[in-house]
Chain A
Amino acid sequence: MGGAFGDTLARAQGGDESAFARIFRDVQPALLRYLRVIALEAEDVAGETWLQVVDGLAGFRGDEQAFRAWLFTIARHRAVDAGRSRARRPTVPLDLSGAAEQLVSADSADLALQAVSARAVVKLIAELPPDQAEVIMLRVVADLDSGDVARIVGKTPGAVRVAAHRGLRRLAELAARAGVTQ
């Protein structure tokens, strides 16, 4: 959004619905892609995240970078809550239905057959170890620097950098195996 973010945020805080919609459309794709990596019910978690954002929007102070950090921090907390809630509910193991193998093979097949879409890359990133996948999504998709990512995930910036590098190397291997080459 660039330099227009401050003005848009001020109008949204004053009750301008179009300004809020502009902010939503700017960050919602990144938010959903991030949540699709770290949560199962990404749309539900995103909805709860926005409810909390709307609740605290009037009191927010900061620039666009700070807003993104605030938004993704809320999203991470809601995802953790959703994961705990899901863990308390009885579920049917995926291995019983064979869906796990179908999902894995579908990712690779999708990547090989169709043009590389954002959703396909998100699925590929989701195959990484969770900490590496989350760091990559926060660095690349949420466009946060190492310091903000470190604060969100509770690690040092050095650990975040190491996890990001390892994740990218692993992602390059997965992409080569799936046939995503020029």
Chain B
Amino acid sequence: MSGPDAMHGEMPGFPPGRPGGERDEPLLDMIFDRRPIPPGAPSEMHDLARMLATVAGPAETGDLAGETTALAAFARLVSPASVSPAAKRPARRWLSGRPARARLPLAAALVTAAAGLGSITAAYVDVLPGPIQQMAHVTVGAPAPSRDLSYRPPAVRKAYPRVTQDLRTVAPRPTHSAAPSPEPDSSSRQEPRPGRSGRSPGPVGVTCTPRPRPTQSSSRPSPTQSPPEPSWNPRFPGPVSCLNIPTKNAVPNPSW
């Protein structure tokens, strides 16, 4: 051989340009189609036809293995109750094979249970609006609404629960309006004690501009007077109430 591609003269048994030969293709097609091949065909073609007829022939010993298992599987699926297509489905599809009429009450019961559980949970963590919380307090023994029955934004309570707790004890919450009430009730207002300015939260209002500094109170000198109070930071001339973030050393709004 002279390499991967042999010269024609080196393979005299094969016609040029047809490696492997294609003259036997009609005979091979006859074998595949199980047609009788001509008697003058090469003997290897007859042997080939005989071998393929054997391998396509009737069953031999062991060729019917698994019959019992297959028939058992067939009998398991075919029963008088399984004439309907739904009954012929395998057992692993039992849930999806249930009729829709049986699934509808189940789904409704699940949704109702989830909604009820969620409502009770919300009542016990005291995040419901006031009237609803009051009703939950009466019906299921949830905590009573601690203040008024007006709507409270839940985001404020979730983000800063300690701050709102302080607000509840220090001063009444303003109404929905972001502006402070013009004249709060003096009986419910608790004046900030001297020296406790660091724990005083800012108002709940959502304005982000510095409020004017309060006028001098009895417990605190004005910054214009000298010397300034040591706890007051001159870099923050007034409490900035934005997103209800309590500012250290903040001075309570006098309107509260």
Which residues of A does B touch, CB under 8 Å? Answer: 12, 15, 17, 20-21, 24-25, 28-30, 32-33, 43, 46-47, 50-51, 54-55, 57-58, 116-119, 121-122, 124-125, 136, 139-141, 143, 164-166, 168-169, 171-172, 175-176, 180-182
A136: B residues at CB distance < 8 A = 52
Q: Are B74 and A181 in contact (CB under 8 A)?
A: no
Interface residues as binary, B2-22 with A (CB distance below 8 Å gives 1, 0 otherwise): 000000000000000000110
The 7 closest A-B pairs by CB, nearest first: A29-B63, A29-B59, A50-B70, A15-B78, A121-B55, A172-B44, A140-B52
For the complex, count residues of B whose C-beta is within 8 A of A.
Answer: 43
Q: Are A116 and B32 in contact (CB under 8 A)?
A: no
Nearest A residue to B21, CB-CB? A169
A116: B residues at CB distance < 8 A = 50-51, 54
Which of B43, B55, B62, B70 has the largest count of A CB atoms less than 10 A from its CB? B55
A33: B residues at CB distance < 8 A = 55, 63
Q: Is there a chain A Cβ closer than 8 Å to B73's Cβ?
A: yes
Q: List 14 A-B contacts (CB under 8 A).
A: A15-B79, A20-B74, A29-B60, A54-B73, A54-B74, A55-B77, A119-B60, A139-B32, A140-B52, A168-B48, A169-B20, A172-B48, A175-B47, A181-B47
Give complex CA distance A39, B7 in Å.
40
Contacts A28-B66, A166-B20, A171-B51; is A141 near B46 (CB within 8 Å)? Answer: no
Contacts A17-B74, A141-B56, A164-B32; is A29 near B64 (CB within 8 Å)? Answer: yes
Which residues of B does A touch, CB under 8 Å? Answer: 20-21, 24-25, 28, 31-32, 43-48, 50-52, 54-60, 62-67, 69-71, 73-75, 77-79, 82-83, 85, 88, 90
CB-based A-B contact count at 8 angstroms:
122
B88: A residues at CB distance < 8 A = 58
Q: Are A121 and B66 in contact (CB under 8 A)?
A: no
Nearest A residue to B32, CB-CB? A139
Give complex CA distance A21, B21 in Å.
45
A166: B residues at CB distance < 8 A = 20
Contacts A25-B67, A172-B44; is A51 near B54 (CB within 8 Å)? Answer: no
Nearest B residue to A44, CB-CB? B66
Q: Are A46 and B66 in contact (CB under 8 A)?
A: yes
Beyond the given A118-B54, A168-B48, please list 16 additional residue pairs across the A-B interface where CB-CB is below 8 A.
A15-B82, A28-B59, A28-B70, A33-B55, A43-B65, A47-B66, A51-B70, A55-B90, A117-B54, A121-B54, A136-B52, A140-B55, A166-B20, A168-B31, A171-B51, A176-B44
Give complex CA distance A20, B70 in Å.
9
Give complex CA distance A12, B71 in Å.
11
